[in-house]
Amino acid sequence: MKVKRTYRRRGTPDLPIATYIGKAGENMKIPREADYHPETEIALQVAGTTIGLIGGERVEFKAGDIWIIPGGIVHQRLGFSDDAVVHRIIFSAEAITMQPGHFFQKEFVLPLSEERLEMPRLLRPGHPCYEAVRQPMLELENCRIYEKNYKQHRLSVLMRICLAIMPYCQVKEEIQPMADPGHEGVKLCMRYIHNHYAEKITLEAVAEYCHLHPSYLCAAFKQYTGQSVFDYLAKIRVETAAGLLLQEDLPVSKVAELAGFHSECFFYKKFKAFLGMTPKAYQKAHRNK
């Protein structure tokens, strides 16, 4: 089974939340590859049925089912009925980050970002938080980017969902020791880059976050990914910029800034190196499509 690893952060840098309304016969397709991404995904089967794989397990979702896919779980849609409608929301932990002492930050956001939070995988009518999650999910129709105040609406919907689910989550307190410091350090490095790509990133700060010496981190990252830390950072920034060029009506200079490039000249150079064309050419070509 081929797996597509999605590293591009969804949403926008100031609100990493994306919503999708899938309808059979319109915009729902059966993908050729399974998907894998670091964000959490919550989906409501509004109508019809969907058959898929989650973590290698074949599942069938019927109208009314809500399923939660934690970050890092391989999943794939295998088929759906002719009347299928699915609402999805995909988000990063930083989208709901609070100040350090806030109870929500300590009990939900931090465990989620550290992959220690175990959410219920399936919600059906009768579950205590079912309706409290279902109602905001139905409101995703009004969270499209062409709707007025869509960012406030998306954040409101996500917060209501998380607060409803929170009492039914379990936090794994014990953190297993690193079996391979290099491999675990690479995963931590990737997480740091995904969370801070819009900021000025130094190798020393990343290495400190990963609890590794900078030289060791560079060698391990190159060994496991085939690219340097900063090449990977540039790739994430370019992918973010590419998404912004298609989603937002922003000047190229602003897109570069939001994606973490502090030099517009360097942005043009990296964008062309990764995607083979300038940002403006990319925007024009894809918008025409």
pLDDT in tens, 178-235: 456 567 888 889 988 988 888 889 999 898 888 888 888 898 899 888 899 999 999 9
Q: Are 9 and 194 in contact (CB under 8 A)?
A: yes
What number of CA atoms fall less than 13 Å from residue 227's CA on the CB side?
Answer: 10
Helix (H) and strand (E) counts in the chain: 11, 12
Place of tokens 């591009």: 8
Q: Are 103 and 162 in contact (CB under 8 A)?
A: no
Encoded amino acid at 278, one letter:
T
Q: What is the pLDDT of the chain when averaged over all its residues?
A: 86
Q: Give the pLDDT confidence score for residue 144 in this predicted structure.
A: 75
Encoded amino acid at 70, one letter:
P
Proportion of the chain in helix, strand, coil states, percent, rounded to 5: 45, 20, 35
The set of residues, in sequence order, having a beta carbon less than 8 Å from that of 79 and lying 6+ positions away, is 30, 50, 51
Q: DSSP label at 264?
A: H
Domain covering 232-288 in this structure, CATH number: 1.10.10.60
Q: Is the pTM of this model over 0.75?
A: no
pLDDT in tens, 2-42: 555 555 667 777 888 999 999 998 989 888 878 878 889 99
Instruction: Give the residue from 23, 19, 83 showing the smallest Cα distance to 49.
Output: 83
CATH number (2.40.50.100, 3.50.50.60, 2.60.120.280, 2.60.40.10) of 3-171 reads 2.60.120.280
Supply 29's token pair: 């397709």
Q: Give the pLDDT confidence score for residue 175 in this predicted structure.
A: 46
Q: Give the pLDDT confidence score for residue 288 in this predicted structure.
A: 60
Place of tokens 């801070």: 196
Q: What is the DSSP string of 77-144?
A: EEEE-TT-EEEEEEE-GGGG---TT-HHIIIIIHHHHTT-EE--SEE-TTSTTHHHHHHHHHGGGG-S
